[in-house]
Chain A
Amino acid sequence: MQSAITNSSVTSISPSRDGFRDIVERHQSRVFSIAFRILGDRGTAEEVAQDVFLALYRNLDRVQSQEHLLSWLRRVTVHRATDAYRRRASRVEFAADEFCEEHMRLEGTGSVSQRAFESSGMATSIEQMVSSLPLAQRSVLLLRYQEDLMPTEISALLSMPLGTVKSHLQRALKLLRTKASRQRKEAVHG
């Protein structure tokens, strides 16, 4: 199969159909997963992921290396998914972040059922807990733990101050720990 970008040092880009298919197949799970975890909806996530690859196709001649491609895909996916999330939030006339905070507050009072958590595995629980994080924290957390990027790399990718990235990470981890602990208690005490 013809490769559009063969290795990190090669700068020649072939926008041929086969070469582009190769790129899509290699990066589709990464792009889709970022979009899905930000949006929490498979349909919209697929739409966003397709848009990202279409934008890539139009800008393929500007991509200079494998690293550049990866960084471009991550940045554009996060930004487009965030935009889609905000558009959707404004359409339904409530801020999803506020909803998450309210959800977490109710959890603290035991008003929200944790049956889903109890009946499923830890992985599903973590997925659900991550999806309830505020948008900025979720994006940073995804780039840190799904994409395995260092805070400095996330800072550069999102054009966000390093201190803000670290603060988002700490807050997200703290929230997740609190939720995990609460979930475990509820599981133990029935």
Chain B
Amino acid sequence: MPRLRPSWQPGFLVPALLAATLVTDITLRLTVPLDRVSYRVWEAMRTFGAETPFRPQTHYDRPRVYGNLAATGNQRDLRQYHRIVFTSDSLGYHNPPELAARGGVAAILFGRSFSAGTEVNDGEDLAAQLTRLSGRPVYNAAPGDPAPAVVNDLAERVGMDRGVVIFEHLESSDAPPIDAVRPRGMSGRCRSLLGPWSTPRLCVVLAGRVQRLGISPVAVFATRAYRRLQDGRWLPNAAAENVMRERLANGRDMLVYAHSERLPPAPRRSHATVVRYATWLAARLALQHHKLIVVLVPEKHTVYGPFTQSPVARRAAEETAAALDRVDRALRERGVTVVNATGPLREAARRAMARDDYVYWLDDTHWNAAGVRVTAEAVAPVLDSLLAGSGVRTR
């Protein structure tokens, strides 16, 4: 046998390949911008380790983003590509850049991704639409919990005096812990760990690095390539079980999380906890001369369940809607101002379906601009009535 070159043997090639892959992986983790490896705003802009929820003063403009359900379930054919323009202010929230500096804010909105408005454009999120409808500046502080200390701090920064705190409670989410300010992400934990040796800058930088190192562009690209093969023909779609296709009465398919129909609402979330939290929060905010509005936001399957062809989905939707009604009643009985968006959203969904239009994205868990508008129209009169006579100036 002729003498073979060692450089072509696995003993050289394979370790070299492993070393090259490792170096490439680490380099890409540290250098590739997150919006290059993400398909929507949430992953591209979130700063899970830092003080601010989104990267401050950043403008995100992508022509083809799509929904989280289409991504989670690898349902390429149901992707609804659309353009997203998302701008964050100096505090890292989804607001016009000048709003915080201008001051004189009448209300601050807290909540989850629904309120943050990562699936709608600038000017279409709940705070922006409330601002337009009420004529008073509403500051978007989502995602975040309205712990009294946080409200105080933010009210001072954005110039809110005797204002209104709007708390979005999403049907499937837990109530925030009572009287606790959770340290924000990794940088908060870093500060408490380093104690006097920490500086805000050091912890933010460290947290950012750790966050970047946790996301591997190589893994993202490899997964994307592999998912293309998981088309049902070459390989089964392993992610398909995460989501369900629900056929609506008008024949269109809509994606929902598979678990939304598998679990009854009562064991899933303790609504008593929400009532207890909101009652406590209203009392605490009153001490600071602020008022509270709780906005009950239904999940997509609760809004669209009655309009699907599936009896299971219809029954599940009625159960979740009834649970939200119970929260609504309990809060009213305790004197907490509450807006339940389920009814308006269902009614709007029914009307829009007739013209093949929707209030939630078909491929995403979140509402679209139309859904936000419906909710804003339900909240705005309540906001107006609370602000009337409270001394807050109007534009």
| A, B: real partners | no
Binding site for B on A (CB under 8 A): none
* B positions within 8 Å CB-CB of A: none
